[in-house]
């Protein structure tokens, strides 16, 4: 009887400990805030035609790419957004469009960003000036995000600021076909 009581108490402690860890993990996830541009950043080029920031657009693209909710978190002083780790590269991560959006997100937070060669070093394939994933509905990718980053091996915010091209959006077109049967009495 005594052994079963201790076993029960040990199990209860384990369940309680795991419950606390799960609660802390969920709290940490809930506290993850999306990166935003600094209040002092007034350049409008970093926003798309829907008034979404580069940070928000990058979150939307990666969320669609991973079929999950994805949040680009704010950078602390001295941090940069790293490229994919060895063995974790995906076409979306290895796209210069995604790299440009994250670089612009870092720039508007007054933070630095990685060079293209550093970002793409672990990519098995790179996608320059194209985004290989789907662009979610209600998201527009600014034209400047499609710049060729291989020219300077870097995101070029001066080029982005002067780019007046239109945003690229996902348009969902639904067609319906109505079949009308004409019956004739004989």
Q: Residue 68: inside a domain, yes or no?
A: yes
Asked if 148 and 69 sit in the same domain, the reply is: yes
User: ∠ at Cα 144 (62, 53), nearest 5°?
Assistant: 50
CB 113 within 8 A of CB 103: yes
Q: Which pLDDT belongs to residue 3? A: 59
Asked if 63 and 27 sit in the same domain, the reply is: no
Closest residue by Cα to residue 75 from 41, 113, 104, 111: 111
Question: pTM of the entire structure?
Answer: 0.74
Q: Name residue 141's beta-bridge partners.
A: 168
Once rounded to an integer, what is the mean pLDDT over residues 130-153?
96
Q: Residue 175: inside a domain, yes or no?
A: no
The count of domains in the chain is 2
Q: Which pLDDT belongs to residue 40? A: 87
Cβ-Cβ contacts under 8 Å for 172 (sequence gap 6 or more): 137
Q: Residue 162: inside a domain, yes or no?
A: yes
Q: Residue 181: inside a domain, yes or no?
A: no
Once rounded to an integer, what is the mean pLDDT over residues 72-99?
96
Per the structure, the complete domain to which residue 85 belongs is given by 44-169
User: In this structure, what token pair is assigned to residue 82?
Assistant: 């790293």
Check whether 20 has a pLDDT greater than 70. no
Once rounded to an integer, what is the mean pLDDT over residues 73-93?
96
Cβ-Cβ contacts under 8 Å for 154 (sequence gap 6 or more): 103, 115, 116
Check whether 92 has a pLDDT greater than 50. yes
Determine the Cα–Cα distance for residues 17 and 174; give it in Å rounded to an integer.
51
Q: Residue 182: inside a domain, yes or no?
A: no
Once rounded to an integer, what is the mean pLDDT over residues 42-52?
93
């Amino acid at each position: 009887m005594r052994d079963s009581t201790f076993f029960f108490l040990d199990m209860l402690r384990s369940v309680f400990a795991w419950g606390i860890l799960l609660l802390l993990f969920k709290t940490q996830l809930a506290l993850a805030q999306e990166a935003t541009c600094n209040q002092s950043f007034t350049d409008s080029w970093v926003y798309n035609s829907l008034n979404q920031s580069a940070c928000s657009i990058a979150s939307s693209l990666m969320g669609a790419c991973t079929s999950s909710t994805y949040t680009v978190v704010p950078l602390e002083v001295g941090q940069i957004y790293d490229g994919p780790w060895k063995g974790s590269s995906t076409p979306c991560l290895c796209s210069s469009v995604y790299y440009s959006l994250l670089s612009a997100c870092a720039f508007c937070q007054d933070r630095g960003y990685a060079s293209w060669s550093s970002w793409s070093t672990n990519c098995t394939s790179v996608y320059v000036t194209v985004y290989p994933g789907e662009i979610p509905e209600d998201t527009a990718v600014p034209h400047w995000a499609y710049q060729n980053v291989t020219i300077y091996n870097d995101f070029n915010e001066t080029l982005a600021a002067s780019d007046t091209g239109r945003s690229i959006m996902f348009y969902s077109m639904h067609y319906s076909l109505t079949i009308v049967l004409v019956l004739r009495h004989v």
